[in-house]
Amino acid sequence: MSGALERVVVRAPGKINLSLHVGGVDGRGYHALATVFQAVDLYETVTATRADEMSLEITSEVPGEVPLDGTNLALRAAELLRTECGVRDAAALHVRKQVPVAGGMAGGSADAAAVLVALDRLWGLGLGAEALRTLGARLGADVPFSMLGHTALGRGNGADLTTVLTHGEWTWLLAVPGGHLSTPEVFRRFDELVLAGGRVPPERPEIDERQLQALSGGNLELLADTLHNDLQAAAFALHPRLEEVVEAAERLGAIGAIVSGSGPTVAALVEDEAAARTIAAGLTEDGLVESCLIARGSAPGASVLEES
């Protein structure tokens, strides 16, 4: 076939949630959210090469086990595209991981986002960004954001996105404590805590307008002040040492620290890389973390790096 591509390389970013307000549950079991996502420059890089059958190989720069079976989001993304578009072609997928595994930073969603973009190109489907985001939303609430990138407000289950204006760059220390948290389990514990506290979650949660001001004005202190995660108490309840990590990061000099998404990665907002390194050294010395990563936000969404 003339002009057909043999190989496409796409990278997609991980994210943190600068705020996460959780409301009631809808008919599909999803909670209504109002969240501000920020993509950071830790990327999942997918290389898709034409092949006779589908296969998946993973090279990881971060600790943690990734399933290679049918539950893997990269493979599910490929299958979804084949079914939806009646594709008979196949591809060998290679994923290089930089985003902490099962850490609340949407690494699996970034894999799915990168695969959708890569195979759309490789197989010449021409679906375009919006259709790919709609397909991505069927794989997970965070997939569309990994395609869009930068900083965005997420509503609904997190997949209805509006880009947020930002000024400047933000430096994050990402503290990865040992252990994983399951997103559905954290949401379940959130429901239990709400029930036990006799609270009624809002039908339509709202974000803090001051956070948008902090982002558009490049105001570090105000951003730190508005970091918020309704899932944090549930994550603390399920991960015994997590609260200590957040407290220690702040004590060691973070301007603010928060559990990212459903955790357990802790995102600490810092002045600069030197501050990040000092805090990382302190957390490591105290035996509170498995690893620490330094990242900058915002980062662009899923994009093609190479094709041939």
Binding site for ligand C5P (CB under 6 A): 29-31, 33, 140-142, 157-158, 183-184, 187
First to last CA, the chain: 13
- Tokens 């997949």, residue? 159
* Residue with smaller CB distance to ligand C5P, 30 or 41: 30
Instruction: Give yes or no: 142 in active site.
Output: yes
Q: Which of 97, 111, 120, 142 is catalytic?
A: 142
Q: Counting runs of H as helices and runs of E as strands, what totals does the chain give?
A: 10, 12
* Residue with smaller CB distance to ligand C5P, 30 or 54: 30
Q: Are 50 and 308 in contact (CB under 8 A)?
A: no
Least spacing, CB of residue 159 vs ligand C5P, in Å: 8
In degrees, to the nearest 5, what angle opens at C-alpha 150 toward C-alphas 300 and 133?
Answer: 80
* Residue with smaller CB distance to ligand C5P, 65 or 247: 65
Least spacing, CB of residue 108 vs ligand C5P, in Å: 8
* Residue with smaller CB distance to ligand C5P, 128 or 184: 184
Least spacing, CB of residue 283 vs ligand C5P, in Å: 27
Q: List own/partner pairs for 131-137 with CB under 8 A and 24 or more apart.
A: 133/159, 133/161, 135/80, 135/81, 135/84, 136/77, 136/109, 136/112
Instruction: Give yes or no: 111 in active site.
Output: no
Q: Which of 15, 111, 120, 230 is catalytic?
A: 15
* Residue with smaller CB distance to ligand C5P, 159 or 214: 159
From residue 21, how far is each of 201, 275, 302 by CA, in Å?
A: 10, 29, 25
Least spacing, CB of residue 225 vs ligand C5P, in Å: 25
Least spacing, CB of residue 216 vs ligand C5P, in Å: 25
User: Annotated catalytic sites, by residue?
Assistant: 15, 142
